[in-house]
Amino acid sequence: MQRVPVISPLHQTAKTHPHSIAISWRSKGLNIALGYSELSLKVIALGEQLIASGLTGGDRLACIDSNSPELVMLYWACIDQGILFCPLSPRFPPAQITQLIERYTLSHVWAGELHQDLLTQALSHRVISLDFSLTSQPHLAKYQPDRSYPPQSQPARVDAELAANIILTSGSSGMPKAALHSLNNHIANAEGSRSFIPLEHGDSWLLTLPVFHIGGLAIINRCALAGAAVVLQDRDSRLSEQLTTDKITHLSLVATQLVRLLNQDASSLQQVKALLLGGGAISPALLAQLETLKIRSFTSYGMTEMGSQITTGIANEDGSCGHLLPGRELKIQDNEIYVRGETLFLGYLKPHSAAQSLTKSLTRSAEQITLTLDPDGWFFTEDRGYWNEDGNLCILGRCDNMFICGGENIQPEEIETILKQHPEIEEAIVFPLFDDEFGNLPAAIIKGDIPQQSELDALVCSQAARFKRPRQYYPWPEVEQTSLKVSRKQIIEAVLCLESRN
């Protein structure tokens, strides 16, 4: 069946809600906002610049920046032109950025003003410069945003099945894999999310997650489809102040961010309609605070390969992740989780593959994409879990994290969840230490003050078998974090390295 090109959600909303705020941010103490019509015009102008800079459909553009209006504009401009948008973390060192760009044949590179120092000499022939001002295009300079476009600037129609972006996701090997998504993947994910967490025209979602993370990119797509505003986080203000000043209605936080916010000013959450919590189990103490404040909070299970959320539910003390959202399918066999559906990504981009337009048709893209599915089209998540009596998904942990102690299986995440119930513990990682008698014994790395071992033994043994209690506790090492998720491998290696020196 022939595919019909579509106008991106940004341009569609520019027609239906031209004067609604699309994006807002603070710059040098000033509040700046762009309506959907104005943002749409800027994106069209930017797309023309990309083509003038030598890019064409199927090319891959590395974008190095912290969350910024420029990054959001580039995403939509790349969508219009069929260019693969690849945001890279500015926390990566220059050598790693160069390695990733060469590994995945990213043909062109743009870096934000504050991150020009990350561009090595080896990348000089790939670097492009762009003008993000509206007046860069003469036929747009005199145009006042309204419901119609000037004749020269009609929004492009795009093939929503084509690969639209590359998001790097870390595997167990530590080498990031390049996940490819289509615009249709993002639309299906956003619509499924909105079916459970309402998001409407006039709402505002604070972009607390980085755009180089699938959670951040998902917020941009959700807002465009709903006609809501993306609000960039102001790093010069306290989060609690910005929630009140910018009248934030939707917010995504991990537990660490939530703790800081509640310590700053818990009342700043009063006007928030929906708080989406991620990054692992949320302690009962935190949930109790949110309940007292009558904050509607949600937890979810998601992954880069499914475009973000897979299941979502009301946050509760059992640590479950809610029910399946529309556009997704999930099955569990022997506690192993498999997924498929409209949100399933196109696959992983193969290293050193030539640039071309990529689709979900593996017969056309097999040389560039790798995607391992079973005969019925199921993708193995490498996570373990089960459905509880209420029909909510419960995650046991990663398959490759499980280890054996004296012939018994230990899933580290089970013990980590229990340890994080202690009010002094912010984060915990459980891992195996070699033992002559038992093969492995559990040990734990603790972020926060480490209580007495007898106290922690009592806590763990009250909810899990005694053999699962950690025999040794280590303080959290000083390790630079370059991604949203904690790198288990990096933290464990740092602790073992310190131990070997002592």
Q: Give the model confidence (pLDDT) of 193-235 as tens digits.
A: 999 999 999 999 999 999 999 999 999 999 999 999 999 999 8
Neighbours of 140 (CB within 10 A): 20
Residue 148 in this model has a pLDDT that exceeds 70: no
Amino acid at 307: G
Residue 171 in this model has a pLDDT that exceeds 80: no
461 — pLDDT class (breaks 50, 70, 90): very high
Number of H helices, E strands in the chain: 14, 27
pLDDT mean over 395-420:
87
Residue with the larger pLDDT of the pair 161 and 151: 161
What are the structural domain ranges in the chain?
20-150, 182-355+370-398, 402-501
The string of DSSP letters for 257-309 reads HHHHHHHHHGGGGTT-SEEEEESSPPPHHHHHHHHHTT--EEEEEEEGGGTEE
Query: pLDDT tens, 355-374?
Result: 666 655 544 566 789 999 99
The string of DSSP letters for 131-142 reads --SGGGSHHHHT
Q: So what's the pLDDT on residue 318?
A: 80
Q: So what's the pLDDT on residue 2?
A: 55
Over its C-alpha atoms, the chain yields an Rg (Å, rounded) of 23
44 — pLDDT class (breaks 50, 70, 90): very high
Fold of 402-501: GMP Synthetase; Chain A, domain 3 (3.30.300)
> 49 — phi, psi (to 5°)?
-65, -40
- Contact present, 213 and 167 (Cβ < 8 Å): yes
Residue 143 in this model has a pLDDT that exceeds 90: no
Q: So what's the pLDDT on residue 117?
A: 93
pLDDT mean over 1-19:
88
Give the predicted TM-score (pTM) of the model. 0.85
Q: So what's the pLDDT on residue 257?
A: 81
Considering only 30-44, 102-116, 273-287, 404-418, which range has the smallest mean pLDDT? 273-287
Class at the top of the CATH hierarchy for domain 20-150: alpha beta
Q: Evaluate whether 182-355+370-398 and 402-501 have a shared fold.
A: no
Query: Whats the size of the chain, residue-wise?
Result: 502
Query: pLDDT tens, 173-190?
Result: 457 899 999 999 999 999
> 177 — phi, psi (to 5°)?
-100, 150
1-5, 389-393, 433-437: which is most confident: 389-393
21 — pLDDT class (breaks 50, 70, 90): very high
- Contact present, 312 and 196 (Cβ < 8 Å): yes
Q: So what's the pLDDT on residue 97?
A: 93
Sign of CA dihedral 144, 148, 153, 155: positive
Residue 124 CA to residue 133 CA, distance in Å, equals 24
Average pLDDT of the residues of the chain: 88
Fold of 182-355+370-398: Rossmann fold (3.40.50)
Burial of 86 (0-12, 13-18, 19+ CB in 10 A): buried
